[in-house]
Amino acid sequence: MSTKLTKRGDVYHIAETVRVGKKSVRIRETTGCRDKEAAEIARTKIIAEITEQLLRGEDPGKSKSVPGYATAAADYEEAKRKKEKKALGKQDCNKLVVLGEFFGEKPCDGFEDEDWDEFVEEKLEGAAPGTVRRWFSMFSPPLVRTAEKFKFMLPKFVLPEEGPVRNIHLEPQDRDDLLACYAEHARMPVRMMCYQGARHSEVLRVDWIDVSLARNMTIFRETKNGTDRPVPLHPEVRADLEKIYRGQTSGPVFLTPDGKPYLDRRAASHGDGPDGSGLRTAHATALRRFTIRKLLKQQKTCCRCGCILIEERGQSASAVVELAVVRPSGGREKLADYALSCAGCHDISRAAKINWFRLHDWRHHWASHLAMDGCDAATLMKLGGWKSPKMVQRYVDLNLEHLAKKLAQSQRR
């Protein structure tokens, strides 16, 4: 019998194998003890019980009735809904379904770290570190919940390091130029993202019943952290709302070009598929138009044939964006990574999916400018709906001009 008592945090755990004849049982359980002597006593008792069961010909695993992963995942989802009176989002539920189908009814106390590695290799090949960590955040809770209930120890799963912080903001002129590139139906909701720091889904759910021009405020409902967030209206956003306000007391504020409400992206498919909101598509079009205009100021001719480029589409000399610098898998491009070619000699294999400024980056832009304008962390957390200062730091980027100004102000007599 190989014995191993390990310490995780302040608590001792059992990690060993009990053998009786040709039968063996792997034990991965917590003793629940912080004191080593007490942990040894608890370990001895557990080992004795399992040894006795093996001698009687019983299966210790069956006596514990530890559920399989698919069952544990379903129980977790149901417990989450009953406890918080709110079901998991559709994307999270879809992740649990995929995980349940992959692992099936594999007993939760039989997991090894290699099981998670196998899932990542087969289902998440080439995925960015952030994507892998989001999948793990749904893979782990059913196991942890079951381990706490049946008193067994989980292996230490290996996760990739977090990707680089997405620090990005636009200068005022670039901000205005990009906003001007949006289609008319998308410009107002995007301006609310820019000036209020609201998330994509929060903006599309804004209802007139939650807007009060008299009190100069709105309420974002069904936010990511599950709480409603009342915020004052930015002057630019208020001006937009006054343009479309016709005395409505209810109904969605922002409408599609055909006058219908935007679909809730969280309740529909991810992205802009048949059930998507359409705002991401509008953003992609605006960003491509803005990128071409920005690059045309530096690059007047085609990078292949040298002809004079024009902005109008549909002609042989029309400017087309190509990827000039290839980033590692999961990396985000910068504006300088792109080049222009003409439509006549454009290489389709080098066509660029422009992602140097995502739709969600308006939230980074908003937080960075608030910080540079002297907003304290507590106010930022309140306005942005974050629960921890760490999350605020992942969104805030300070430009060199702001840092130089602060440095110059220090240690003055």
Which residue in 59, 259, 28 sits closest to 156, CA to CA? 28
Selected residue with higher pLDDT from 225 and 356: 356
For the cut 80, the answer to whether the pLDDT of residue 261 exceeds it is yes
90-103 vs 113-123: helix crossing angle, rounded to 10: 110
**Cα–Cα distance measured from residue 4 to residue 16, given in angstroms and rounded to the nearest whole number:** 5
For the cut 50, the answer to whether the pLDDT of residue 201 exceeds it is yes
Between the ranges 9-13, 27-31, 280-284, where is the mean pLDDT highest?
A: 280-284
If you average pLDDT over residues 325-330, what whole number do you get?
64
Selected residue with higher pLDDT from 261 and 173: 173
Sole residue written with tokens 């939650």 = 210
**Cα–Cα distance measured from residue 159 to residue 132, given in angstroms and rounded to the nearest whole number:** 8
* Token pair recorded at residue 87: 């079901």
Per-residue pLDDT, 206: 93
If you average pLDDT over residues 165-171, what whole number do you get?
78
Collect all residues with Cβ–Cβ distance below 8 Å to 336 and sequence separation of at least 6.
325
Per-residue pLDDT, 183: 92
Edge-to-edge strand order for the sheet containing 5-8? Answer: 5-8, 11-20, 23-33
Q: What angle do CA 284, 290, 293 make, to 5 degrees?
A: 145
Per-residue pLDDT, 9: 63
Neighbours of 156 (CB within 10 A): 8
If you average pLDDT over residues 275-299, what whole number do you get?
86
- Give SS3 for 92: helix
* Token pair recorded at residue 142: 């059913």
Chain-centroid distance of CA 307 in Å reads: 42
Q: How confident is the model at residue 16 (pLDDT cuts 50, 70, 90)?
A: confident
Q: How confident is the model at residue 46 (pLDDT cuts 50, 70, 90)?
A: confident
Give pTM, 2 decimals: 0.68
Beta bridge partners of 17: 2, 26
Q: How confident is the model at residue 412 (pLDDT cuts 50, 70, 90)?
A: low
Per mean pLDDT, which range of 101-115, 227-241, 316-330 is the poorest? 316-330
Q: How confident is the model at residue 378 (pLDDT cuts 50, 70, 90)?
A: confident
Which residue in 225, 28, 49, 52 sits closest to 146, CA to CA? 28
151-154: Cβ within 8 A, 24+ apart: 151/29, 151/30, 151/32, 152/27, 152/28, 152/29, 152/30, 152/64, 152/66, 152/108, 152/109, 153/8, 153/13, 153/14, 153/15, 153/28, 153/29, 153/30, 154/28, 154/111
